[in-house]
A and B are shown apart, each in its own frame.
Chain A
Amino acid sequence: MIEPYGLIVILLGLIMAAYTFKEFYRKRIGTIPFIIWTIIWIALISTGVYPQLYLGLASSLGMAAPIQFVTTFSIMILFAIVYQIFRTVGDINRKITKIVQQLALEKTEVKMDQ
């Protein structure tokens, strides 16, 4: 019997998996991110379909219910994603700065040559 929580998780997982596939199909994400995200969505969906799979794992980690395991695991993943986004934004910012500075200098040189 699937719990209401399970239904929400399955629905969310399926929507996100479909969205991820669409992004991969349109070549907006690479193969490795596609595989990683697909694994994450499958893991999420399976917590809704087979909650008993996580019972043993949750109890061995001292957690009362699979939902605690899922929540804790999800928060950990979210922290990792936020960190990755933070790094990416920093990298993009540095690249934009370099491009804008280079453009400014090149434009000035062109003006001087004319």
Chain B
Amino acid sequence: MLLLKVVCVIPAHNEESTISSVVRNARTICNLVIVVDDGSTDKTVEEATKAKAKVVSHIIRLGVGAALSTGLRAASNHDAEIIVTLDADEQHDPKEIPNVIAPIVDGKADLVIGSRILEKNSEMPFQKLVANKILSKLTSFASGIEIKDSQSGFRGMSRHVADSIKYESTDYQWASEMIISLSKRGFRIVDVPIKTVYFKSRRRGAGFRDAIKILYNILHPK
């Protein structure tokens, strides 16, 4: 357990089969785990509560971007000093949280992105890899910072970053919008390699429609 108060934020929509283990693993490292239930219709809330997470529930589904935004505010309300965001589908290994937040603890970064592509043995499906590389290039171009995996949901950030984040996207476009917005305000952004596990039965993430929206947001910054 770290000296700083680390709060983990996990957005979840119908993740009853995985949320419990993700919360339990995250709790071994974080002081508090907040699950943002984004209008789930299954037992996500019950499972997360049983695993001793603090659950914040949206009464309707707003999208992963909005869920994260709610989670960041909830983390701030709980006096978080460092906030980590994780996916609820076991794609990310909570044991890697110390690596992701290390640059923040060392005072070298304000936002750390856990990059799935930096990892040499990345299991990212080919189609996703290509889409991700294109979006990362576009995000890097718009932000002026070399970002290898702009769509990664595994991120660490300091409290002052979380408090100053302003993005309007409620869905997958939040990932790029956050980077572009923070880079333009001079925050230090770095990426670290992370391992990722992909399950064929539950592949989600940014699709073609999201890619178009991300491109639109990059061309029309708010």
CB of A104 within 8 A of CB of B56, answer yes
Contacts of A2 in B (CB 8 A): none
Contacts of B99 in A (CB 8 A): none
CB of A97 within 8 A of CB of B73, answer no
- Which residues of A (80-114) have their CB < 8 Å from a CB of B? 93-94, 96-97, 100-101, 103-105, 107-109
CB of A97 within 8 A of CB of B66, answer yes
Contacts of A109 in B (CB 8 A): 77
Size category of the binding interface on chain A: 10 to 19
Answer yes or no: B74 CB below 8 A from chain A CBs.
yes
A contact patch SS = helix
Closest to A98 in B: B66
Size category of the binding interface on chain B: 10 to 19
From residue B31, how far is it (CB to closest CB) to chain A in Å?
Answer: 15
CB of A108 within 8 A of CB of B60, answer no
Contacts of A103 in B (CB 8 A): 59
CB of A101 within 8 A of CB of B54, answer no
From A93, A94, A108, contact of B56 by CB (8 A): A108
Answer yes or no: B62 CB below 8 A from chain A CBs.
yes
CB of B66 within 8 A of CB of A101, answer yes
Answer yes or no: B58 CB below 8 A from chain A CBs.
yes
CB of A105 within 8 A of CB of B77, answer yes
From B36, B56, B77, B170, contact of A97 by CB (8 A): B170
CB of A105 within 8 A of CB of B70, answer yes
Contacts of B146 in A (CB 8 A): none
Closest to A99 in B: B59
Contacts of B77 in A (CB 8 A): 105, 109
A101 and B170 CA atoms in complex are apart in Å by 11
A109 and B55 CA atoms in complex are apart in Å by 11
Proximity string of chain B (69-94) to chain A, C-beta cutoff 8 Å, 1 when within and 0 when not: 11001100100000000000000000
Q: Which of A97, A104, A107, A109 has the most CB of B within 10 A?
A: A104
Answer yes or no: B123 CB below 8 A from chain A CBs.
no
Given contacts A101-B58, A105-B56, contact A94 B66 (CB under 8 A): no
Contacts of B74 in A (CB 8 A): 105, 108
**Chain B contact residues, CB within 8 Å of chain A:** 36, 54-60, 62, 66, 69-70, 73-74, 77, 168, 170
A-B contact pairs, 19 of them (CB 8 A): A93-B170, A96-B60, A97-B62, A97-B66, A97-B170, A100-B58, A100-B60, A100-B66, A101-B62, A101-B69, A101-B70, A103-B59, A104-B36, A104-B57, A104-B58, A104-B59, A105-B70, A107-B57, A108-B56
Q: Besides A100-B59, A100-B62, A108-B54, 5 other CB < 8 A contacts?
A: A96-B62, A97-B62, A100-B66, A104-B56, A105-B56
